[in-house]
Amino acid sequence: MIARTDFLGCPIDSTTLPETVERCVAWCRDGAPTRILITVNVAILMMMRKDPDLRTACRAGDMIVPDGMPVVWASRLVGHPLAGRVAGVDLMQALLERGDRERLKVYFLGARQHVLDRLKALCATRYPGLIVAGARDGYFGEEEHADIVRDIRESGADILFIGMPTPFKEVWAQRHRDALGVSLVLGVGGSFDVLAGFVRRAPLWMQRSGTEWLWRLLMEPRKMWRRYLVTNSQFFVALARELWHQRLSTH
């Protein structure tokens, strides 16, 4: 049984990557209604505080995992230690590998068309047992949502990977959960670009040291500087307040 704890207003499951993969594969086989797996990092935790739709969508996740070492470290500081980090890109890659062995069907929603084309080609070469049941780029308007949901449902996919930004991916998945007809929905942000080879991921030592955000900042400074400056500052303030409240409650 995977334990769940509340961290800065968000329920998070204390689990490892292998445990998460096993649960996801089991969900693909049990015939139950659609489950949604949410990955949360510092930015999402802070965005949840100001976006009620995102907060509702995240808290409704059937599994919520920490995608970021700062979240794991902070959980230890507040006395509710999480087992470890489960990065969305690592989880996606692990599920593609399991899909290869177990003939799972997947649908890719998001990114640009040339990224999808390379991702599908990579899957055909590297994971020949995996079935890519469908794919759709991430550039569409609200008037197309119903058609996209229908296409996903009719594809027969077991897993829907949504490679789009927060809060869209979480809110969209929760809004259409009952109509998607898949076993599992997993929002993976920019993972399509990483796995397809268009974006370099941080070196392993940066991933383990919790400085992967710095790598992303260096790779895309114009896009990321404001996000990290604002959200990281908000996170440190929220964490300090939590620690202060805990100290007061024990005196």
- Residue-wise DSSP of 201-213: PPPHHHHHHT-HH
- Read off the pLDDT of residues 152-183 as tens digits, 9 standing for 90 and up: 999 999 999 999 999 999 999 999 999 999 99
What is the overall mean pLDDT for the chain? 91
Find the CATH number of the domain harbouring 110: 3.40.50.10700
Bridge partners of residue 114, in order along the sequence: none
pLDDT at 204: 81
Q: Where are the alpha helices (DSSP H) in the chain?
A: 17-27, 42-48, 52-59, 69-77, 88-102, 113-126, 145-155, 168-180, 191-195, 204-209, 212-219, 221-249
pLDDT at 235: 81
pLDDT at 206: 79
**Structure token digits, residue 35:** 């489950």
CA dist 24 and 230 (Å) reads 33
- Does residue 230 belong to any structural domain of this protein? no
Kindly give the parts of the chain with pLDDT less than 70.
223-225, 227-228, 250-251
- Does residue 235 belong to any structural domain of this protein? no
The number of distinct structural domains making up the chain is 1
Could you give the percent of the chain with pLDDT greater than 90? 73
- Does residue 228 belong to any structural domain of this protein? no
Q: Range of 161's domain?
A: 3-202
Backbone angles phi, psi at 209, to 5 degrees: -90, -5
pLDDT at 231: 81
Return the SS3 of 132: strand
CA dist 69 and 213 (Å) reads 10
Q: Please give the DSSP secondary-structure letter assigned to residue 143.
A: G
User: pTM, whole model, 2 decimals?
Assistant: 0.92
- Does residue 245 belong to any structural domain of this protein? no
- Does residue 221 belong to any structural domain of this protein? no
